A and B are shown apart, each in its own frame.
Chain A
């Protein structure tokens, strides 16, 4: 079945460091791919998304490119800030039999130190 695998956390970085959080997926057809962010005590918020191969999603300095050949959607940011500390979830959605479902990874906790 469909699945999303993302790197184990926690990831601890110093402020202004480069961030990569790996995400790979398994799905038939052509899913859409998402990154969501969850701040402490809150629900998940959309960070960025890509709906077809080679699309790049970007928001707030974060980027991810939909790579169909490697079934990946890695999240990157060139210079992290303390305020980026949160849990990041990779997800896919796929249409099947007239409806669709969202599949989430287990989340990667990021801690950025000043």
Chain B
């Protein structure tokens, strides 16, 4: 029962470094997304994708890049890490674009600290 798999689970970066958070799902979901979770602010959408080759910006996209070359994978790239990007990142996926009642499934999270 893999579901949504994120790696790494923990990462410490220095300011200015770049890195990629990996996300893979084995449920053949069309919809994939990245959220960040900060204390008192809930979940904020960074980027999302409704299918391979299609991506769009969410609420807080600055400083992040995504691509969707396959249905299964949706990596999140931090271009030049800043302390403000210290957060917990969640990847999530859902089936069948176009039906609002579909459940969205989350990965276990990636804890990122930028020093």
A residues near B, CB below 8 A? 30-32, 34, 36, 41-46, 49, 51, 89, 93-95, 98-102, 104-107
Contact = CB atoms under 8 A, between A and B. Distances in A.
Contacts of A36: 106
Contacts of A107: 42-43
Given A42-B108, A43-B106, A99-B50, A106 B42 contact: yes
B103 A99 contact: no
A105 B40 CA distance: 10
Contacts of B90: 43-44
Contact of A95 (B33, B35, B100): B100
B42 A49 contact: no
A50 B100 CA distance: 11
Contact of A98 (B45, B98, B105): B98
Interface centre among B41, B90, B98, B102 (most CB of A within 10 A): B102
A104 B36 CA distance: 12
Given A100-B98, A101-B45, A42 B40 contact: no
B97 A98 contact: yes
Interface in B53-99: 58, 90, 92, 94, 97-99
23 contacts: A31-B100, A36-B106, A41-B108, A42-B108, A43-B4, A43-B90, A43-B107, A44-B90, A46-B104, A46-B105, A49-B103, A51-B100, A89-B43, A94-B100, A98-B97, A99-B31, A100-B97, A101-B45, A101-B58, A102-B104, A104-B35, A106-B42, A107-B43
A32 B106 contact: no
Contacts of A30: 100
B48 interface: yes
Given A46-B103, A93-B101, 17 more contacts: A34-B103, A34-B104, A42-B108, A45-B106, A46-B105, A93-B100, A93-B102, A94-B100, A99-B31, A100-B100, A101-B48, A101-B58, A102-B33, A102-B45, A102-B104, A105-B42, A106-B40
